[in-house]
Amino acid sequence: MSRWNRGHTAYSLLASALIGTLGIPRAFGTEQVVKNDNVVDFGTAVIVGDFVPGERAGARLTSPCDGTIVAVQILWYANGAAEQSIQSAITINADAGTFPNPGSQLEYLEAPLLSPGFINEFRYTDENNTTPINVPVTTGQNFFVILEFAEATDVGGGGASILRDVGACQSQRSMIFAIPGGWIPWCFISSGNFAIRAVVDCQDPIGACCDGDANCTNDVEQDQCQGEFDTFFSGQACGAVSCPVPTGACCNGSGGCLDDVTEQTCNGFPTGVYAGNHTACVDGVCDVGACCKPDGSCADIIELACTEQNGLFEGAGTVCASTSCPQPLGACCIGTACVPNQTELNCVNFPGTWQGPASTCTPNPCTACTDGDADQDGDNDLYDFAAFQACFGGPDTGICACLDMDNDGDVDAVDMALFVPALTGP
């Protein structure tokens, strides 16, 4: 009896075989496990024994796509409480077309640690997990994954070894390196297929990706163009595709709403306000409510228009008639005294002169001055000139009071003619 027929007893896998060992992370997405066997969790498989040091077992696999081999898997099992074992190596070899002889070595994993009862997955060539397995393959390319034994396997004594399935042996798919004898097709010896596998990261198609706003990006992988409103054009460039024109809700400003309208069409309506791409009337985007504007006034408009005016939307269904909008604060002049953070109404009722929204008492805008010294620092310099530019054409409120040099209530060209000779330096 051949030694590889010893221990050929079918065992039910009583425990679920776990993917991965030693905390090695797994990637998902486009990865595909490539295998010849049909071994499954809680299924039936056969432990293959016995091997001696230096012998090897391998599987000839076929890549399902253009991509990269990123991992190998060895199903390792024992009919008992076997210990972990360190074997000699796992290699990935090219297919030289001389089955069962493998071709040139493409990758080498030294001293793999195998745990019984697991699918032992390896993603690195070294034990420190610093060098990832990275073997490029193309669709239909054959390659070999080979385990070399460093320790003898004693299946009859409860030792661990590789598994094979209980199906028919597929021609030119499993092989062993025997001592003596060299490479031998497994089908010459027994049935079934070795549970030695690879993981191939398949490349996604590359193409143009249009997002939901009709923006196009070139050279995008298909799995990166999966947004709710994305459109992928495999193998195409942006210059050759037409991105779908997005639509949304169109508001008429007074509560009316139309769905599935393009922005261009909506803006063509006399009172059309586009609510944004992929918005819908059912979401209430066109509902009217009270909008408190920064100047303290109120308007019954839709939220979108309120936001565009930097207003505070009080909610759909609210009305200005019953809304008290916060009033802006500013400096209030009572004679030459300045009172900060007052509403216009409060200031007028003092009585006082309100200096406008966000005005401050520093520098004091209430000091009677028409000398062009806007910051009241004792000279007329470039700071005052910048203030003059900001005040030009406006009323003499706040620091502009000092720049109304003819004291006529505004800052104009007459004041400019008086201000320029007053400049004293930087």
Q: If the chain, 426 residues long, is cut into consecutive pieces of 10 residues, what is the mean pLDDT of each piece?
A: 45 38 46 94 88 97 94 92 92 97 97 93 91 95 98 90 95 96 95 96 90 95 91 95 96 88 94 92 92 93 88 94 93 86 91 88 76 76 85 80 81 86 76
Q: How far apart are CA 384 and CA 158, in angstroms?
A: 95
* CA distance linking residue 121 with residue 24, whole number of Å: 8
| Measured distance CA(47)–CA(50) in Å, rounded | 9
Domains, in order of start, for the chain: 3-202 (2.60.120), 206-240 (no CATH), 287-326 (no CATH), 330-422 (no CATH)
Task: Give which of 363, 357, 355, 378 is closest to 424, Cα–Cα.
Answer: 378
288 neighbors 255 (Cβ within 8 angstroms) = yes
User: What is the layout of strands, in order, in the sheet containing 337-342?
Assistant: 337-342, 330-334, 353-354
pLDDT at 370: 65
Q: Position of tokens 């300045």?
A: 338
Amino acid making up residue 248: G
101: phi then psi, degrees, rounded to nearest 5: -75, 125
Asked whether the whole model's pTM tops 0.75, one would answer no
Quote the pLDDT of residue 347: 92
What is the torsion angle, in degrees rounded to the nearest 10, for the CA atoms of residue 261, residue 264, residue 270 and residue 272?
50
- For 282-370, strand residue ranges (E) read 288-292, 298-302, 312-316, 330-334, 337-342, 353-354
**Nearest alpha carbon to residue 176 among 196, 160, 159:** 196
Rounded to an integer, what distance in angstroms lies between the CA atom of residue 15 and that of residue 7? 20
